Amino acid sequence: MRLGIIGLPNSGKTTIFNALTGSSYPTDPFSSGQLEVHTAVVNVPDARLDRISAIYKPKKTTYATVTYTDIGGLDKGIGQGGLSGPMRNELQQVDGFLHVVRAFEDEAVPHPQNTVNAIRDLETIDGEFMLVDLITVENRQARLEEERKKGKAAATPQYTAEVELFERLHAQLEAGLPLRDMDLTAEEIKSLRGYGFMTLKPTLVIFNMGDSGTDPAQNLKYDHQQAIVITLRGKLEAEIAQLTDPDDVAMFLAEYEIEKPSRERILQVSYDLLGIQSFFTYGEDEVRAWPVRKGGSSLDAAAAIHTDLARGFIRAEVIAYNDFMAANGSLNEVKAHGKMRLEGKEYLVQDGDMIVIRFNI
């Protein structure tokens, strides 16, 4: 899973990036307007994995990971001017966006628009992305029209379906609505992947607050699909992320009445936003967490581990995590109570399933 951190200059993107990754990139109030990218890979904490590992005491415990990419260079007007190739490439590679919106006052960190207005800034980037997508749609429509005039494929059902789909996309964007709000079929979404539409990507809006002020989320109506809005204090969270002593972390969290660090909160919300869950493989060599999309099959789980497992899939041996723990981590007990199931390719993986893939190639 790869998530892109975006936002206007001086919104605190890099501060949030540091809070999520424990990095210490400089956060000077300066923007060159040029593309600047920082990337870090973060383990996804999972208490269930820790408990399974404590039982097996494997040579290796491997957590699921998330790659965060801090993408600098976005600004007002970038949609009309067109995205550069490198910028577009970075934005297209991510599975979803963490859109950082400034909601703090700080005279030492000037706002590009001179005043702090979180709702305006949120709408600015949303509007730029819709314009970028609209240009992409219109370019494709122009090429489809050229094909029609040349008589190429114009009579095929595929051509007609694509023309109709892009007409719907155009109408959606003209109405000022993101593409992720559309009721697209799985087949339609698959056909659009190569275009890298910005407003089709799931988005987590993060209002970056200071130590005081009004939470913009309280007055915001953001009823979009695949979109979640949260608020956090970026600067404070970044300071907590630099602490290495668990007791110090606990003290800070208690003092500022923070339930859990932003890293854990955002990871969980990101999993929910992207529709991802975890399953586990286990043994004396390694205990490991694997991400798989909700609704994914045992064949998808096998492919996540290795393509050979999917190619030679025979069956999946499945144990629910709760059943495993109820049996005190004893496979013999699990089997004695009939809690180990043999499942075929179509089985829908559940969050926390412990899976062994049997295969032959």
Residue 257: its pLDDT value, please? 80
Residue type, 22: G
- Collect contacts of 283-287 with beta carbons under 8 A, ≥24 apart: 283/56, 283/58, 284/56, 284/57, 284/58, 284/59, 285/58, 285/59, 285/60, 286/58, 286/59, 286/60, 286/61, 286/62, 287/49, 287/52, 287/53, 287/56, 287/58, 287/60, 287/61, 287/62
* Region 117-141 average pLDDT: 94
* Tokens representing residue 275 in the block: 């529709």
Report the CATH number of the 130-199 domain. Answer: 1.10.150.300
Residue 152's pLDDT band (cuts 50, 70, 90): low
Task: Assess whether pLDDT exceeds 60 at residue 271.
Answer: yes
In this prediction, what percent of the chain has a pLDDT beyond 90? Answer: 64
Tell me the angle at which helices 13-21 and 234-241 cross, rounded to the nearest 10 degrees. Answer: 30
Beta-strand (E) ranges in 125-268? 203-209, 227-232
Q: Which of 13-27, 103-117, 141-155 has the lowest mean pLDDT?
A: 141-155
Residue 309: its pLDDT value, please? 96
Helix (H) or strand (E) holding 289: strand 286-293
Residue 75: its pLDDT value, please? 84
Structure-model confidence comparison of residues 24 and 56, the more confident one: 56
CATH superfamily, domain at 295-359:
Beta-grasp domain (3.10.20.30)
Closest CA to 239 of 12, 8, 10: 12
- Rounded Cα distance between 191 and 178, Å, is 17
| Residues 175-212: tens digit of each pLDDT | 999 999 999 999 999 999 999 999 999 999 999 988 77
- Rounded Cα distance between 332 and 59, Å, is 22
Residue 70: its pLDDT value, please? 94
* Region 87-96 average pLDDT: 91
| Residues 315-338: tens digit of each pLDDT | 999 999 999 999 999 999 999 999
Pairing of strands 203-209, 96-103: parallel
CATH fold, domain 2-45+63-115+201-273, is: Rossmann fold (3.40.50)
Give this prediction's pTM: 0.88
Residue 61's pLDDT band (cuts 50, 70, 90): very high
Tell me the angle at which helices 262-274 and 13-21 cross, rounded to the nearest 10 degrees. Answer: 100
- Rounded Cα distance between 127 and 92, Å, is 17
Structure-model confidence comparison of residues 25 and 49, the more confident one: 49
Residue 33: its pLDDT value, please? 61
In this prediction, what percent of the chain has a pLDDT beyond 70? Answer: 97
Please report, for the chain, the start and end positions of each structural domain, with discontinuous segments joined by +: 2-45+63-115+201-273, 130-199, 295-359
Residue 22: its pLDDT value, please? 87
Task: Assess whether pLDDT exceeds 60 at residue 32.
Answer: no
